[in-house]
Structure 1
Amino acid sequence: MVGLRDWATVYLKGIAMGSADAVPGVSGGTIALIVGIYERLIAAVTAVDPSRIRRVLAGVRPANVPDARAAFHEIDGAFLLVLGAGIGTAVVTVLSGVNYLLATRPVATYGFFFGLIAASAAVLLRGVTLDTPRRQAAAVAGFLLAFLASGVASAGLGSSLPLVFVAGAVAVSAMVLPGISGSLLLIVLGQYEYMSGTVSRAVDGLAAFLTGNGSDALVETLPPVLTFLLGGVVGLFTIAHTVRYALARARAATLAFLVSLVVGALRAPLLEVSTRLAESGESWRGAAPRFALAALVGAAFVFVLDRYSATIEY
């Protein structure tokens, strides 16, 4: 019998995963490995399919309740709900803090992100071999995709709802992959700062609504937040399955592609800092020490984390 203490532990593990997923370069999947729930998470996510979802929803009719409970148990629904609550709590909290840091300390914040990403790439590259043309082509494709996408995003893709939906699908699907950060992919798509600001305003708007101080901010931020979440649900049960299938069929080439995405994404924080410096009139020479120090801190964090995560198995 699972007790309250066990569910509290799952919730806290979700908070740890969500905290990692909210910062670029650190993967919630890696945290899941460290805290010992990665295999259960993958089993639960891959057990979700349209048939079981229909059976669970059919439980609104009393006659279907037993079968709905069985389907809910088959997908480990209680585990997913409690873990998801912990992840959501952490993501909202961390993104609100990051939004403040991006507004007040952008160079150091992006420097920290750069260190996280660079160290993650270094750790992941240890498991990549490029000894065949297929793997080399996958690596080049992954690098170019992230590198070019970063440049396009920095030029101003905007934050339309369709793009927010895609960003949610891509970012959340990365949650099930150790070493690949969803927030990193948001930076590549140019949506990280936008979503962190939107989440922060949504939290403030909810607080204002609950205290009777108006609902304008909440109404303004609900469409992108809900669109992102919807994209995340779709991505978790489509893109994530696709990537897992690719890893099963062509593990080495797929891994080379995914890790090269991380390497190519190193361009993104540099472009973000360059944009901020151009706006403020500051030069890279003046900002470099702050950027480098923060990058070293970020890199050290990843290397310490990697020491405790042991060997990552996909």
Structure 2
Amino acid sequence: MFIINFIRGFFMALADSVPGVSGGTIAFILGFYDDFIDSLNSLISRDNMENKKNSLVFLFKLGIGWVVGMVLSVLFLSSIFDAQIYEISSLFTGFIVVSIPLIISQEKDSIVGKYKNIIFAIIGIAVVALITYFNPASSNGGLNLSLDNLSVGLGIFVFVAGMIAISAMVLPGISGSTLLLIFGLYTGIIGAIKEVLTFNFSYLPILIIFGLGVLTGIATTIKVIKFVLKKYRSQTVYLILGLMIGSIYAIFMGPTTLEVAKPAMNLSSFSFIFFIIGGALIVGLERLKVVFEGKETKNKSNKKGA
């Protein structure tokens, strides 16, 4: 199971590190989302020690794969993101467009016959579209996160962005990286992580602030996410689908949030080849879900037989 959870964490990190599909979406597609949320909830709630231990072991295995995937992704992405923004944005669009019908198929009990909840999908689309449209970084380029530009206002903004981003990362919908892109922080945070990994610690303060926001976001939102998925699953699934649809607009506008802003992606700069590659990767991950479920069933049968 270690290899399986390592691979799961690795793919979650790849999703979390790029604007497009969240790590939560990957967990959803690969069939371990409920275990992921329950494990996080167990650690921050008054659960018994046995459950906390099992949750910690599960998250540790995921975490190792996540860290490896994130480090490799950051070192690779930060060098090509600006230069290949339109190809990468097309890839992300493929991620989202192909993920939507997969989620609809898996959540058909929450969708079919409950069409009055489509209002939540419209709300999700509107939220992402409005945040993207009114984002000041869309016209001024990405924010500079160097130590020389660190201020109280910027620190608060980065802290809040970290809270919101991690909430999105654990939801199977719009990715935290997409929200960072919308806020004009994506390239700055990715660049800061790369600088620290190469032992330039002048960017460490902003990453500490961001990390504190992430931890605060986990502590304050995971119970809410678990509650709404349990009590209002249909409405939440519709909202998630709306957020995903709206994030397509955010990705098309993504180039305008770079530190050196570029024109928004359009049909002439859109790459259908990378779009197809992105969709194929999501289909491949969905196929992996079948493999993982088969191995887990086999392992459980072997334990019972022993």
Which TM-score band (shorter chain)?
0.7 to 0.9
Distance apart, 1:303 and its partner CA = 3.0
Q: Deviations over 1:175-234 (max 9, x none)?
A: 443455332333333322222222122212x2xxxxxxxxxx31x211221222222222
Equivalent residue runs for 1:101-116 within 5 Å: 101-116=80-95
Match of 2:211 among 226, 229, 238: 229
Q: Distance in 2 between matches of 1:282 and 1:80?
A: 38
> Which residue of the other structure, out of 96, 106, 110, is the alignment partner of 1:117?
96
Relative to structure 1, the CA distance from residue 304 to residue 15 in structure 2 (aligned partners, 3 Å threshold; closer, same or farther) is closer
Partner of 2:39: 44
Instruction: Report what 2:244 is aligned to.
Output: 262
Give the stretch that moved more between structures: 121-130 or 257-266.
121-130
Residue identity (%): 26
Judge conservation of contact 2:43–2:56 (CA < 8 Å) in 1.
Answer: no
* Cα gap change, 1:178 to 1:281, in 2 (>3 Å): closer
Amino acid at match of 2:280: A
> Who is 1:193 aligned against?
187
> What letter corresponds to residue 132 of structure 2 in structure 1?
S
Q: Which amino acid aligns with 2:219?
A: F
Aligned in 2, Cα 1:263/1:130: closer, same or farther, shift over 3 Å?
Answer: farther
Letter in 2 for 1:167: A
Bigger Rg, which one: 1
* Counterparts in 2 of 1:109 and 1:306: CA distance versus 1, 3 Å: same
Contact 2:167–2:221 (8 Å) recurs in 1: yes
- Aligned-partner SS, 1:238: helix
**Alpha-carbon separation, structure 2, partners of 1:43 and 1:104:** 40
Gaps of 5+ in 2: 146-153, 291-306
Q: Which amino acid aligns with 2:179?
A: L
Give the aligned partner of residue 20 of structure 1: 15
Shift of 1:116: 1.6
Shift of 1:103: 2.5
Q: Which residue number corresponds to residue 181 of structure 1? A: 175
Asked if 1:296 is matched to 2:290, the reply is no
Residue equivalent to 1:61: none
Q: Which amino acid aligns with 2:195?
A: R
Query: Structure 2 CA distance, aligned partners of 1:124 and 1:86?
Result: 24
The alignment of Structure 1 onto Structure 2 pairs a total of residues equal to 273
**Structure 1 residue ranges without an equivalent (≥5):** 1-5, 53-66, 207-216
- Is 1:249 paired with 2:203? no
1:88 aligns with 2:67: yes
The CA deviation at 1:44 is 1.9
Partner SS for 2:134: helix
8 Å CA contact 2:139–2:261 kept in 1: the answer is no
C-alpha RMSD of matched pairs (Å): 3.4
Shift of 1:90: 1.5
TM-score, scaled relative to structure 1 = 0.72
Structure 1 residues 42, 146: CA separation in 2 closer, same or farther (over 3 Å shift)?
Answer: same
Distance 1:132 1:117, change over 3 A: closer
User: Does the 8 A contact of 1:24 with 1:117 survive in 2?
Assistant: no
1:75 Cα deviation (Å)?
6.5
- The answer to whether the 8 A contact 1:171-1:183 is kept is yes
Which amino acid in the other structure matches residue 12 of structure 2?
A: M
- CA-to-partner distance for each residue in 1:154-180, whole Å, 9 max, x for gaps? 245846222322232233234443455
Matched residue SS, 1:103: coil
Q: Does 1:171 align with 2:165?
A: yes
Report if the CA contact (8 A) 2:94-2:279 is conserved. Answer: yes
Question: Structure 1 residues 182-191 or 240-249, which shifts more?
Answer: 182-191
Following superposition, the deviation at residue 49 of structure 1 comes to 2.6
- Aligned partners of 2:17 and 2:74 also within 8 Å: yes
Q: Could you say what secondary structure the match of 1:26 adopts?
A: coil
1:240: Cα distance to partner? 2.3
2-side partners of 1:112 and 1:259: how far apart?
A: 19
Moved over 6 A (4+): 280-283
